[in-house]
């Protein structure tokens, strides 16, 4: 585990695992020097596991990928997967540089996948430039991944307001306090903003900032991935045609 310092470097906060016994020790003679990158990558290269829990086929999945998603999400939830609604959201603005980050899925219906964020954030800017995204869920305990790709649009103000009203007050204040993705001098900036907003709204309701609201990812493609032995995983893809009908097929791992 690591901490992100103010300068953006990752600082290890737990001792490194010892190198595998067979790996030669390439550390410099200075015992206080950090382990060489080679030692770390030897550790990484040895990390693997076999996936053997379940199988997946075009015959076993639902005709409607939303139904299949709901079934897998329900299984992830009842298997007590940590943060089953967490999805890695990849976006790409006009500079062609993809960016990915985790957001929480706050609703799924036949229209799409809803998440909430700051419209003025990096992802908000990228989505304004190129309103397309892919979301990936990884449910490690179930050896499953789901990818959902499509167009993204803001949800209505009414829908954002309804969700905003369900958020804890601290989170509402937090949305006002954080200029998400903007460079800030120090944590003190956030704390000062938080105190400011807390004071401004007193005991009254906290209104939703105009720059905060929901997005709906409307899928054109789904992929369901089930880990299998020997890296011969099962992958089933669905795509929607112009009429709105879904077809599905198997792809190679
Ligand atoms: C488990 C988890 C859940 C998160 N949920 C959200 C979320 O729902 N909305 C959001 O804007 N950021 C969420 N974040 C923070 C984002 O990953 C990211 O730091 C933030 O949105 C800024 O991203 P950007 O600078 O690329 O726009 C979450 C992070 C984690 C680790």
DSSP line for 113-133: EEEEEETTSHHHHHHHHS-EE
Are 127 and 152 a contacting pair, CB within 8 Å? Answer: yes
Is 237's pLDDT higher than 60?
Answer: yes
pLDDT band at 205, cuts 50/70/90?
Answer: very high
Domain count of the fold of the chain: 1
101 Cβ below 6 A of ligand 1: yes
Specify the residue for token string 């903007």.
182
Q: Give nearest CA residue, ligand 1 atom 10.
A: 117
Position 28 in a domain: no
Ligand 1 centroid to 101 CA: how many Å?
6
Show the tokens assigned to 155: 């949800």
Is 213's pLDDT higher than 50?
Answer: yes
- Give the C-alpha separation, 153 to 55, whole Å: 34
Q: Which atom of ligand 1 is nearest to the CA of 89?
A: 17
pLDDT in the model for residue 39 = 57
Position 1 in a domain: no
Give the contacts of 94 (CB within 8 A, at least 6 positions apart). Answer: 129, 130
pLDDT in the model for residue 4 = 34
pLDDT (tens digit per residue) in 157-188: 999 999 999 999 999 999 999 999 999 999 99
pLDDT in the model for residue 22 = 43
pLDDT (tens digit per residue) in 62-96: 999 999 999 999 999 999 999 999 999 999 999 99
Lowest mean pLDDT of 41-55, 96-110, 207-221, name the range: 41-55
pLDDT in the model for residue 38 = 58
Position 215 in a domain: yes
Are 103 and 89 a contacting pair, CB within 8 Å? Answer: yes
Q: Which atom of ligand 1 is nearest to the CA of 117?
A: 11
Specify the residue for token string 């009254």.
204
| CATH number where 236 lies | 2.30.110.10
pLDDT band at 146, cuts 50/70/90?
Answer: very high
Q: Which atom of ligand 1 is nearest to the CA of 91?
A: 26
Is 109's pLDDT higher than 50?
Answer: yes
Position 55 in a domain: no
Position 53 in a domain: no
Site to probe by mutation for ligand 1, drawn from 104, 164, 166 as the one with most ligand atoms within 8 Å of Cβ, is: 104
Is 246's pLDDT higher than 60?
Answer: yes
pLDDT in the model for residue 42 = 79
Q: Give nearest CA residue, ligand 1 atom 11.
A: 117
Is 136's pLDDT higher than 60?
Answer: yes
Position 166 in a domain: no
Position 23 in a domain: no
Domain hosting 239: range is 65-160+211-251
pLDDT in the model for residue 31 = 54
Give the contacts of 250 (CB within 8 A, at least 6 positions apart). Answer: 57, 58, 234, 235, 236, 237
Position 100 in a domain: yes
63: three-class secondary structure by DSSP: coil
């Amino acid at each position: 585990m690591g901490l992100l310092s103010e300068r953006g470097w990752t600082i290890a906060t737990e001792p490194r695992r010892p190198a595998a016994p067979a790996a030669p020790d390439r550390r410099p003679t200075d015992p206080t020097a950090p382990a060489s990158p080679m030692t770390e990558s030897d550790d990484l290269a040895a990390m693997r596991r076999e996936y053997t829990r379940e199988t997946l086929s075009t015959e076993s999945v639902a005709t409607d990928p939303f139904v299949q998603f709901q079934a897998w999400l329900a299984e992830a939830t009842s298997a007590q997967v940590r943060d089953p609604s967490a999805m890695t959201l990849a976006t790409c603005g006009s500079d062609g540089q993809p960016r990915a980050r985790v957001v929480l899925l706050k609703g799924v219906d036949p229209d799409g996948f809803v998440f909430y964020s700051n419209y003025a954030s990096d992802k908000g800017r990228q989505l304004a430039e190129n309103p397309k995204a892919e979301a990936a869920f990884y449910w490690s305990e179930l050896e499953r991944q789901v990818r959902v790709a499509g167009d993204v649009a803001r949800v209505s103000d009414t829908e954002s307001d309804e969700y905003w009203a369900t958020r804890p007050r601290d989170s509402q204040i937090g949305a006002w306090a954080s200029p998400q993705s903007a460079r800030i001098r120090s944590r003190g900036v956030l704390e000062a903003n938080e105190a400011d907003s807390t004071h401004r709204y007193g005991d009254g309701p906290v209104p939703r900032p105009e720059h905060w609201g929901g997005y709906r990812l409307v899928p054109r493609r789904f992929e369901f991935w089930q880990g299998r032995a020997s890296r011969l995983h099962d992958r089933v893809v669905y795509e929607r045609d112009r009429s709105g009908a879904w077809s599905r097929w198997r792809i190679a791992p």
